[in-house]
Amino acid sequence: MRHTKILVTLGPATTDGTVIRAMLEAGADACRLNFSHGSQDEHAAFCRQVREQAQAAGRQVMVLQDLAGPKIRTGPVPAPLILAAGTDVVVDKGDGDGTPGRITCAFEPLFASVESGQRLLLDDGRIELVVKDTAPARFVATVVEGGVLGSRKGINLPGAVIQTPALTDKDHSDLRAGVAMGVDAVALSFVQSPDDVRAARVAASAAGAPDMPIIAKIERPAAVERIDDIVTASDGIMIARGDLGIELPLETIPAVQHRVLQAARRRGVPVIVATEVLESMRASSRPTRAEVTDAAHAVDESADAIMLSGETAVGVNPVRAVVTLARIIAEAERAREGTGARGGYRGAGVSTDDVIASRHGLALCEAAVALAHRAGASAIVAVTKAGKTPRLLSALRPASRIIAATPNEQTAARLGLVWGVTSMLTSAAALPAVREALLAGALVPGGDTIVFVAMHAALGLEADNYLVVERL
């Protein structure tokens, strides 16, 4: 069984439901709706397609809404502008046409955030400016690295804290639409502090989803500096290496990825590695060797999930990209099992004492992992309502597969990005019903040894706190 999950992005290349079904069969565990592109109606249609195809396949598949967040872009230019190194350029607030020596930007917080000496990167870092003089509605910058600038190109401010909330008016509207269409989790862009995550929870609650899981996208240096606080406030983390690679020196990205992964692992919070994983498969049938190594490295670092974006959204063969990534993950996990301890994948230096859980709940799950190892159990079955027990088991990285038995369809779907967890719907949470569902679904062969575990926040509830080992 593959432990590391695959998150695919839907887009123009996946409008046919049969493609979505084929990606699920190839190994996709969750689907991402990128609200930076497309309309709400288009995303609602994707969401319906995922639900229909997942039901036909007899699976619960997570649908992740990825909010666009604030977009800092240059204004329109009637013709491409040449910005020559050593020259000055005026940046005016507004959305007027750019002219030689002058560009515009409609993002008001930019003008409150820049100061003299601030670096600006335009068009994915291809052009670099340094701010020279500032005024309330404009600033002058010197071109350090020149180039040709087209319309609506991105602006990055490395190291600066942008004076803007993570949720825009568009995000609030999109969030309400996402809740209405039934998404399972929300990825929040432009996170700079835990307050941004808390604000997203308030917005989700106002939209009618007070328990909506919030996944913080780590794409700004400010977020990296406050990673422990952000991890604590979040239900998941996405390492968005595209913007990080612009805002931070490229050579630091591997270390930053490791730091964020370790922070998430310490707290038992699922983490997704994203951006340009198999980028060449947008146009090619094969990834590069460097991309294969990158994906395998994410497995070695115990990422919960790896995300495909353009590879599936606009790629020439979305299904082949999923098949390829599934094979890379499976081989990387086999290699790791072959060199690691039989007891499982537990990461070196990761303290499970830091996992968010009650003390007795953590002890119960640690005992389940130890018992599964000693008994040679093929699976640990977590009987759960909200999904906390399988998440905690996953954080311990057991060698045995984890089966989350739940009567709640939403809980089953929300576990789609959690390492090593397979969801199973049951008619009830009682142990006899769980045994029956296991055998009926052929998730575990008859005669295998299984560990059953359930935990509750309060002690003294024997029906809700137990650890049982038996042979099916």
CATH code for the domain in which residue 136 is found: 2.40.33.10
In terms of domains, do 190 and 308 share one? yes
In terms of domains, do 176 and 111 share one? no
Which secondary-structure segment (H or E) carries 317?
none
291: exposed, middle or buried (C-beta count within 10 Å: 0-12, 13-18, 19+)? buried
In terms of domains, do 205 and 263 share one? yes
Residue 306 lies in a domain: yes
Give φ, ψ of 230 to 5 degrees. Answer: -70, -40
In terms of domains, do 225 and 115 share one? no
Give CA torsion, residues 417, 423, 429, 430, to 10 deg.
-140
In terms of domains, do 65 and 193 share one? yes
In terms of domains, do 401 and 374 share one? yes
Can you give the pLDDT at residue 461?
Answer: 55
Residue 344 lies in a domain: no
Catalogue the E-assigned strands of 219-275: 236-240, 271-274
In terms of domains, do 151 and 170 share one? no
Residue type, 209: A
Can you give the pLDDT at residue 357?
Answer: 62
Can you give the pLDDT at residue 159?
Answer: 82
Residue 211 lies in a domain: yes
Q: Could you give the CA distance from residue 106 to residue 302 in angstroms, rounded to a whole number?
A: 41
Can you give the pLDDT at residue 351?
Answer: 55
In sequence order, the β-bridge partners of residue 121 are 128, 156
Range of the domain at 416: 352-471
In terms of domains, do 178 and 311 share one? yes
Residue 76 lies in a domain: no
Can you give the pLDDT at residue 416?
Answer: 94
Can you give the pLDDT at residue 195?
Answer: 97
CATH code, domain with 65: 3.20.20.60
In terms of domains, do 382 and 457 share one? yes
187: exposed, middle or buried (C-beta count within 10 Å: 0-12, 13-18, 19+)? buried
8 Å CB contact between 249 and 241: no
Residue 318 lies in a domain: yes
Can you give the pLDDT at residue 218?
Answer: 97
Among the three residues 285, 314, 339, which one is the final residue of a domain in this structure?
Answer: 339
CATH code, domain with 452: 3.40.1380.20
For residue 425, give Cα distances in angstroms to 62, 192, 420, 441.
14, 37, 17, 10
Residue 456 lies in a domain: yes
pTM of the model: 0.92
The catalytic residues are 32, 73, 217, 275
Residue 355 CA to its chain's centroid (Å): 19
**How confident is the prediction along the chain (472 residues), in pLDDT tens digits per residue?**
799 999 999 999 999 999 999 999 999 999 999 999 999 999 999 999 999 999 999 899 999 999 999 999 999 999 999 999 999 999 999 999 999 999 999 999 999 999 999 999 999 899 999 999 999 999 999 999 999 999 999 999 988 888 899 999 999 999 999 999 999 999 999 999 999 999 999 999 999 999 999 999 999 999 999 999 999 999 999 999 988 999 999 999 999 999 999 999 888 899 999 999 999 999 999 999 999 999 999 999 999 999 999 999 999 999 999 999 999 999 999 998 765 543 344 443 445 555 556 677 788 889 999 999 999 999 999 999 999 999 999 999 999 999 999 999 999 999 999 999 999 998 876 788 888 888 887 788 878 899 999 887 555 555 577 888 888 7
Residue 302 lies in a domain: yes
Domain count, the chain: 3
In terms of domains, do 393 and 310 share one? no
In terms of domains, do 180 and 50 share one? yes
Structure tokens at 17: 């439901």
Among the three residues 339, 361, 378, which one is the final residue of a domain in this structure?
Answer: 339
Among the three residues 135, 156, 177, which one is the final residue of a domain in this structure?
Answer: 156
Catalogue the E-assigned strands of 233-347: 236-240, 271-274, 305-308
Owner of token pair 């910058």: 141
Can you give the pLDDT at residue 442?
Answer: 76
Can you give the pLDDT at residue 447?
Answer: 84
Residue type, 328: I
Residue 75 lies in a domain: no
Q: Could you give the CA distance from residue 110 to residue 108 in angstroms, rounded to a whole number?
A: 5
In terms of domains, do 408 and 268 share one? no
- DSSP labels, 30-67: EEEEETTSS-HHHHHHHHHHHHHHHHHHT---EEEEE-
Can you give the pLDDT at residue 463?
Answer: 56
